[in-house]
Amino acid sequence: MQLWTCIVLDCALLSITAAAIPDISLLCERERNWLQIIEMNWGKAPNEGQY
């Protein structure tokens, strides 16, 4: 779980400089969406017995 926290914090820090470097902002957004998909899939799998 700490890995996700680190990535989210990295996103927050990167978003501070996003105005200067738009590419980082896009990368961060894509990473966040990817994390949400991972969390949804991993969160549902054990409950539905599809692991």
pLDDT of residue 30: 75
- On whether residue 49 sits in a domain, the answer given is no
6 is in which domain, residue-wise? 1-42
pLDDT of residue 50: 47
- On whether residue 48 sits in a domain, the answer given is no
Can you tell me the distance from the alpha carbon of 49 to that of 8, in angstroms, rounded to the nearest whole number? 28
Can you tell me the distance from the alpha carbon of 9 to that of 43, in angstroms, rounded to the nearest whole number? 21
- On whether residue 50 sits in a domain, the answer given is no
The structure's pTM equals 0.32
If one counts the domains in the chain, the total is 1
Q: What is the mean pLDDT of each run of 10 residues along the chain (51 residues)?
A: 66 65 66 79 59 46
